[in-house]
Structures are given as C-alpha cells and as structure tokens.
Structure 1
Amino acid sequence: MPVLIVEHDTERARRWQTSLQCQGLEVISVPGQREAVIVMQTRSVSLLVVNLDLTEGSALTVADFASYRHPNAKVIFLTDSNMFSDGSIFMHAGNACAYLPASTPPEDLVAMVEHFRSVA
C-alpha cells in the first residue's frame, strides 16, 4: 500500500517523495485536503505524511478522514510552526504517530516512515 504525502510546498513534497521512492516505497503526493480525500476514497494507504500548515484544507481533517476510511493507517505530522509543540496533536488525532519539524532531513523522514510501516 502506498504512502500518501499531503504537502503544499511542491519542492519539499518532491524531495520527500523521491527519498521514499528510492527505498522502494510506492508514494502518492498531493497538495491539499481535497486531493487527499479523493486518493483515500479510491486507494488504500498505509501511512500519511501530512504538513500541519496546509494552504488548502485542514491537516486534522485529512487525519480524521484517514482514521475513518483507513483505520490502521498512521499519520506523521510535520510543521514549520510551533503549533501543537506541547504534544497535544496526539490528543487531537488518534492516528498520529509522530510530530516533526518540516525541515526534518528526508533520510530521517524515510527512517520514520519505514519504522511505522513495519509496526503497523
């Protein structure tokens, strides 16, 4: 099952996608909530990588829809802000498995994705 990236910064999404694909993972990348919902309605996903600072839609809505449509899928949230820096993201999104800065190096993100896919 593919990993779904929901990231409005196309360059960042491309770096993440390329790094994950280099590890043999199937990856779908979309810029916002609407496209993420469409993907989750038509495809199974095993893990989502979602930027909390989406410019189109809400990252929490994406996570909520994922929990409904794909109850075993986990979500790695990334952000450029200090939103949820108190760890409360784990109370707001039951499928959250990690909270990272959006500047996390792609190779570190790959390690997180591989870890959470293996424990799913």
Structure 2
Amino acid sequence: MILIVASNRVLSAIWARHLKRQDHEVHVVTSQDDSVAFLCEHEPDVIVLDVMLEDGSAIATADFASYRRPNTRIVFVTRSTFFADGSLFQHIPNTAAIIPERTNPSDLAEIVAYHGRAS
C-alpha cells in the first residue's frame, strides 16, 4: 500500500495513476492532519511525501510515521535544493530516497516499488 501526501493534486493524481498501473493500492491525502489520521489506521509500505507540504509540515508527518510506522519507507519529493545535502537521512530514520519533483512519474513509481519491496 502506498500513501501519497502532497499539496499538488494534479501531480498526486499522475503519481497515483503510475503506481496503480503497477498494481499498487494507492491513497492520496493533501495535509499533515489527513496523513496522521491515515497512519493511525493503516500501515503503508511507502509514503511519497512532498517536502513543501502546504497544509501542515512534511517533517512532522515523517516524524510521526517514524514513530508510529517504523517499517514504512518514506520517499521525499522536493522542488527545492534545501535537503540536497542528505540531512533528511540523518533526521528521519525511515527515509528511503529524496527525489526532485520533476522526476519522471514512471521513474518515481519504480523507486517506490523498489523501496516497497525492501520494507
């Protein structure tokens, strides 16, 4: 199961469509509150998480996932170079990857599938 947490609904829908083509069960939410509520009830294999989440904090979401769902892998997606130094790997233990938002959706789906198998 894959959870997408992102503000951009259009991009989330594209990512979800590519993941569903690989037969993944995909859920999309747009806020920290919705992601936390989802994580209280479900244990996704991978979270695709927009670093620049507009409604809430991506770091708070990832921190909650690390505490509540330590086996869930997190693939951060960013349109910024702020975390290019890899510091998310040090701060969020279940960080699996940090990729640019402009990554081809089929490549993102492959990255998610890979880390889903590894969890």
TM over 0.5: yes
CA distance in 2, matches of 1:90, 1:71: 14
**Identity %, equivalent residues:** 35
SS of residue paired to 1:81 = coil
Aligned pairs (5 A) from 1:85-104: 85-104=84-103
Partner of 1:70: 69
TM-score, normalised via structure 1 length: 0.96
What is the Cα deviation at residue 68 of structure 1?
Answer: 1.3
Partner of 2:108: 109
What is the Cα deviation at residue 24 of structure 1?
Answer: 0.3
User: Number of residue pairs matched?
Assistant: 119
CA distance in 1, matches of 2:32, 2:82: 18
What is the Cα deviation at residue 59 of structure 1?
Answer: 0.8
CA distance in 2, matches of 1:33, 1:83: 20
Partner of 2:47: 48
For the aligned residue pairs, the C-alpha RMSD in angstroms reads: 0.7
Structure 2: where are the runs of 5+ without partners? none
TM-score, normalised via structure 2 length: 0.97
Partner of 1:19: 18
SS of residue paired to 1:77 = strand
Partner of 1:6: 5
In the TM superposition, structure 1's runs of 4+ consecutive aligned residues that sit over 4 Å from their partners are none
CA distance in 2, matches of 1:44, 1:87: 25
* 1:24 partner letter: D
